Amino acid sequence: MTALEPFGARLRHAMDERGPLCVGIDPHASLLTEWGLNDDVAGLERFSRTVVEATADRVAVLKPQSAFFERFGSRGVAVLERAVADARAAGALVVMDAKRGDIGSTMAAYAESFLHKDAPLFSDALTVSPYLGYGSLRPAVELARESGAGLFVLALTSNPEGGEVQHAVRADGRNVGATMLAHLAAENAGEGPLGSFGAVVGATLGDLSSYDLEINGPLLAPGIGAQGATPADLPQVFGAAVRNVVPNVSRGVLRHGPDVVALRAAADRFADEIRAALAAV
């Protein structure tokens, strides 16, 4: 298996060239309806192909949510495979939002599903859950390094329920979210221009100055748009680490479909707003 250039290096180049915007591919049943599509495999395929056509040649990252494809069974997964291949062919990096997390051989199998270069669903990076212990992610970390892929580890998520785990304080006085960030900083030590092991950190969380977000890796930041955060909030939330933030927008772009021109215009508006926010830092 020939490894790609490390994900972090490829992501840094894409962010510098295209801007850091990540657009989600989230074919909710309600969005399919808003687009005038049926909630079936044909509607799923039309939706995903349209989003890829509209955005894959201009944004740094596309992030399909695996669950919305899996719910249609094998035919839905086939649509996801095509979306991943088409997005990567058009120059976008693909972050598979599957939030996998398990132990041992099961975690290794999840990793092979998304991070092995010969897998039908091979993606540039995968979201993973570390809440069976960070060490449970080791099979995914090792395969990502081997294949030139990356991981985004849930660290400080925007959902209110996350706090009961992520804000829990360990015996050493550090909370769980901060512990995950420290693990990622260790994974990325000495890597350049950017490490391949990132954190998921919600853009809706307000001032995070008590956390060390400078992990030498990317920070995937959901919450822009429909969840209430704006591009202008990014410098306040992420501070000095804002240059490594990958802001994710889903519904804020997707609600403008099915018109390809309107989808492109929405993605371009968010990209411009993000560039303006970063230029002010």
| Alpha-carbon radius of gyration of the chain | 18
- Residue found by looking up tokens 């080791």 in the block: 138
**CB–CB of 100/133 below 8 Å?**
no
Catalytic residue among 99, 116, 117, 138: 99
3-state secondary structure of 25: strand
Containing H/E element for 171? none
Give the integer Cα–Cα distance in Å for 94 and 84.
7
Residue type, 46: R
Query: 63 catalytic, yes or no?
Result: no
Terminal Cα distance for the chain, rounded: 41
**CB–CB of 245/221 below 8 Å?**
yes
Q: Which tokens in the block code for residue 214?
A: 């400078």
Q: Which of 278, 275, 253, 272 is nearest to 56 (CA)?
A: 253
Strand partners, 246: 220
- Name the residues annotated as catalytic: 99
